[in-house]
Amino acid sequence: MDRISVIFKGVKLWLTAAAVLSVSLFFASCNGSDDDPEANEIQGEWYQKSSVDAGARREAVLFTINDNIYISTGFNGNNAKVFLRDLWVYDAGIDTWLPRKDMPAEAAARSSAVAFSANGKGYVGLGFDGVKPLNDFWSYDPTTDEWTRIKDFEGDARYGAFAFTLDNKGYVGTGYNDNKAFKDFYQYDDVNNDWIPKPAVPKTERYNAFSFVIEGEGYVGGGINNGASVPDLYVYNPTNNNWTEKNDLKDDKVDEDKNDKGYGTIPRQQASTFVIQGKAYVVGGRLANGGPSSENWEYNPLTDTWKKRNAFEGGGRTAAVGFSIGDIGYIATGWNGAANGNLNDKWSYDPMQKDVD
């Protein structure tokens, strides 16, 4: 039988082909594989960064203009029921949040709003002011540090909707208004200051869904309706103006899709997301009947599969904001489930590192 030379820690060994195969399998098992849940979970490392100068809050919104990260609105109920209308921009060079002009007094302070950016401006609207759901929308111009009211949202007033930006256009959909959940979907035309109806998100209504953008397409998944988690994922293509269903988020052993690997907790509400190197990360949130989670799920659109990565090390939290700068993801603010549990900490995530706890 042929012998093969193998270098192992500086020592040359002569092994048979069968022995080489055995050694290869041994190291593959030690290094872990995509089907090994424990190996997947240790991938990625979290680092605590400086706190958010804007203060503790949950259910805030975040938008990006020319690589600048802005945070606005939210709820701080640590000592009183305080709804917010402030605006802060993140200076990554000095790891500091700098104040910008608050939303106008006629714009109700709010939480559970949505935000997107388009053509150099940020847009904030919808939400809940402590009394009622809202349908107003406001644009922010960073060159003048001024807010301008735009046309009210076309659909019903609501909170817990989602929003994203595709091809420099803002899109808003789903949500809840104390009476019912929605699945409608609109594009904002900033040239004509108008809302254009688009195909509704398929199947069920939902609110508090998670969303992200990869390669010019918008993804929407999870959320809640009638007290139950919504276990599906859809992607919207703006060129074709249609939604495509992806593998569901259930581990039901019925359809035998690629996600049926023993993971049954991907469906969630109020999770935070960021995108790094073409993969999305869905962090925290909570299950329909559970408290805040610390789980961290990685989605690969090329294979339409999810992998459980190293859990968020800031503890279980929901209603935080997420963003990425380069190849690093960030999670900030949120709520840990305690009576006085609104947060202002910030954490970074490097998917290329191994957990070293």
Q: Of 29-43, 75-89, 147-161, which one has max mean pLDDT?
A: 147-161
Residue range 164-182, pLDDT digits in tens: 999 999 999 999 998 999 9
Strands (E) in 17-120, as ranges, are: 43-48, 61-65, 68-76, 82-91, 96-100, 114-118
Domain boundaries of the chain, sorted by first residue: 60-284
Residue 287 clears pLDDT 90, i.e. is over it:
no
Residue 107 in this model has a pLDDT that exceeds 60: yes
Q: Does the pLDDT of residue 2 top 50, yes or no?
A: no
Mean pLDDT of the chain: 88
pLDDT in tens, 110-150: 999 999 999 999 999 999 999 999 999 999 999 999 999 99
SS3 label, residue 20 = helix
Residue 16 confidence class, pLDDT cut points 50, 70, 90: very low
Confidence of residue 265 (pLDDT cuts 50, 70, 90): confident
Q: Residue 40: its pLDDT value, please?
A: 59
CA distance 316 to 191: 42
pTM more than 0.85: yes
186 pLDDT higher than 50: yes
Among the residue ranges 118-127, 230-239, 261-270, the one predicted with the least confidence is 261-270
pLDDT value at 351 more than 90 = yes
Kindly tell me if the per-residue pLDDT of 160 is higher than 50. yes
**Minimum mean pLDDT range among 68-82, 95-109, 216-230:** 68-82
Q: What is the pLDDT of residue 28?
A: 37
Return the CATH number of the domain spanning residue range 60-284. 2.120.10.80
